[in-house]
């Protein structure tokens, strides 16, 4: 490279030096700035560096100089993100199940570039989430982007859907057939992303795990099902679905012990009406998609909760209890002895 050709990168390198080597607690002097530029084969005099430091403000990089003894010490102030904000983002990325380990590391490295090298070390955090299993589908980010683009363009999408078999291999559902869906929203539930869309063949709203969608393509066909989604509250839809498993939507009446009031509020929100039944219990009516997952949730709370309506759901719970008794080989006589 011809002599002096690197001078045109002077402002860029100065910005890089200031952002990497300074923060609220770490400063750099003018001789140190000039020495750092020299490492990039860039010569500079004090007067030109003073002017360049002022020019950095045009790039959105505010540099402040503070007198310390007989010298000025310079540092970058007012970055786009504060360190606590970036720590929060790092924690969210590390604890997100749908972000792969590879992408997690790549995203954190990018966040580290937003702070000094000193603060970057503080972003090397490790968040431990019980039972967390990172997704193995690296294409999920592009799938999400494709879904958003299709929604903004008012187009349908086509994709294949898979499940894992006992050999831990991807196995396409519907014999590899393509799903043709009108996308209307993305839902975050139970650490997973779900596409919520309209299936015109079935004439109903369905949801799909985004990390299990493959080879997504935007169709030329305009989306359908607008009238369904104008009446749909996605937050309420998620609240009614336990583990995002489907089922018949029904109003279920529960008799609940007072000590489980927090569990009910966490699950159904503070707007749920809890009516006192006696000094130790209350009743609550909730709209849910009744599935084995919902029945399992009720079962997991033990004697503190009981389904008392509708009769149809009560009978479903009885049938599920009988199935479990049969599955584990318990006779009614054995249960009575316990």
Over pLDDT 90: what percentage of the chain? Answer: 51
The pLDDT assigned to 64 comes to 94
The pLDDT assigned to 95 comes to 77
Average pLDDT over residues 88-110: 84
CATH of domain 242-327: 3.30.70
Q: What is the DSSP string of 174-233?
A: GGGPPEEEEEEEEEEETTEEEEEEEETTTTEEEEEEGGGEEEEEEEEEEP--HHHHHT--
Domains 5-77 and 140-232 alike in fold: no
With CA atoms as reference, report the closest residue to 15 among 86, 68, 74: 74
The pLDDT assigned to 336 comes to 59
* Region of residue 221 (left: phi > 0; alpha: psi -120 to 50; beta: else): beta
Q: What is the DSSP string of 298-323?
A: HHHTGGGEEEEE-HHHHHHHHHHHHH
Dist CA 170 CA 162 (whole Å): 6
Provide the β-strand partners of residue 163.
171
Top mean-pLDDT range of 54-68, 120-134, 160-174:
54-68
How far does the chain reach from its first CA to its final CA, in angstroms?
87
Burial class (CB in 10 A: 0-12, 13-18, 19+), 328: exposed
Of 1.10.40.30, 3.30.565.10, 1.10.10.10, 1.10.1030.10, which CATH number belongs to 5-77? Answer: 1.10.10.10
The pLDDT assigned to 96 comes to 78
Q: Which CATH architecture has domain 140-232?
A: Roll (2.30)
What's this model's pTM, rounded to 2 decimal places? Answer: 0.58
Produce one character per residue of 261-278: b if its CB has 16 or more CB atoms within 10 Å, e if not: eeebeeebeeeeebeeee
List Cα–Cα distances, 140 to 136, 144, 184, 305, 317, in angstroms.
Answer: 9, 6, 18, 38, 37
The pLDDT assigned to 86 comes to 92
Confidence of residue 282 (pLDDT cuts 50, 70, 90): very high
Specify the DSSP class assigned to residue 244: G
Burial class (CB in 10 A: 0-12, 13-18, 19+), 210: buried
Q: Mean pLDDT in the chain?
A: 86
Q: How many Å is the Cα radius of gyration of the chain?
A: 29
Helices 292-300 and 311-327: crossing angle, nearest 10°? 80
The pLDDT assigned to 260 comes to 92
With CA atoms as reference, report the closest residue to 243 among 211, 291, 210: 291
Per-residue model confidence as pLDDT tens digits over 209-254: 898 899 999 999 999 999 888 877 777 777 677 665 677 889 999 9
With CA atoms as reference, report the closest residue to 102 among 146, 145, 139, 130: 139
Inform me whether the pLDDT recorded for 141 exceeds 70: yes
Enumerate the domain spans of the chain. 5-77, 83-122, 140-232, 242-327
Over pLDDT 70: what percentage of the chain? Answer: 89
Inform me whether the pLDDT recorded for 46 exceeds 70: yes
Q: Which of 8-17, 252-261, 297-306, 325-334 has the lowest mean pLDDT?
A: 325-334
Average pLDDT over residues 189-218: 89
Provide the β-strand partners of residue 180.
158
Q: What is the DSSP string of 245-268?
A: ---EEEEEEEEEEGGGHHHHHHHH
**CB distance 157 to 150 below 8 Å:** yes
| SS3 category, 128 | coil
């Amino acid at each position: 490279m011809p002599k002096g050709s690197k001078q045109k990168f002077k402002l860029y390198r100065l910005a890089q030096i200031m952002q990497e080597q300074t923060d609220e607690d770490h400063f750099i002097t003018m001789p140190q700035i000039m020495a750092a530029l020299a490492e990039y084969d860039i010569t500079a005099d004090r007067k030109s560096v003073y002017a360049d430091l002022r020019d950095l403000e045009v790039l959105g990089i505010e540099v402040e100089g503070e007198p310390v003894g007989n010298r000025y010490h310079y540092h970058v102030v007012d970055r786009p993100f504060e360190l606590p904000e970036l720590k929060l983002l790092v924690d969210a990325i590390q604890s997100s199940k749908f972000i792969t380990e590879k992408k997690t590391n790549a995203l954190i490295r990018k966040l580290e570039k937003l702070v000094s090298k000193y603060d970057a070390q503080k972003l090397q955090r490790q968040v431990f989430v019980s039972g967390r299993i990172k997704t193995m589908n690296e294409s999920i980010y592009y799938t999400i982007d494709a879904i958003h683009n299709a929604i903004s363009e008012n187009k349908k999408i086509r994709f294949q859907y898979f499940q894992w078999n006992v050999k831990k291999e991807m196995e396409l559902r519907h014999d590899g057939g393509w799903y043709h869906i009108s996308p209307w929203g993305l839902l975050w539930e139970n650490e997973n992303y779900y596409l919520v869309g309209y299936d015109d063949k079935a004439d109903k709203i369905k949801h799909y795990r985004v990390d299990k969608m493959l080879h997504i393509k935007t169709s030329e066909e305009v989306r359908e099902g607008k009238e369904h989604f104008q009446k749909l509250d996605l937050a309420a839809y998620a609240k009614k679905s336990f583990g995002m498993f489907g089922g018949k939507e029904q109003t279920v009446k529960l008799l609940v012990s007072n000590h489980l009031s927090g569990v009910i509020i966490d699950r159904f929100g503070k707007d749920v009406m809890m009516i006192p039944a006696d000094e130790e219990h209350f009743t609550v009516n909730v709209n849910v998609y009744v599935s084995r997952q919902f029945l399992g949730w009720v079962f997991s709370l033990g004697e503190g909760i009981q389904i008392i309506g509708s009769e149809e759901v009560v009978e479903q719970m009885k049938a599920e209890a009988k199935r479990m008794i049969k599955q584990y080989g318990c006779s009614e006589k054995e249960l009575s002895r316990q």
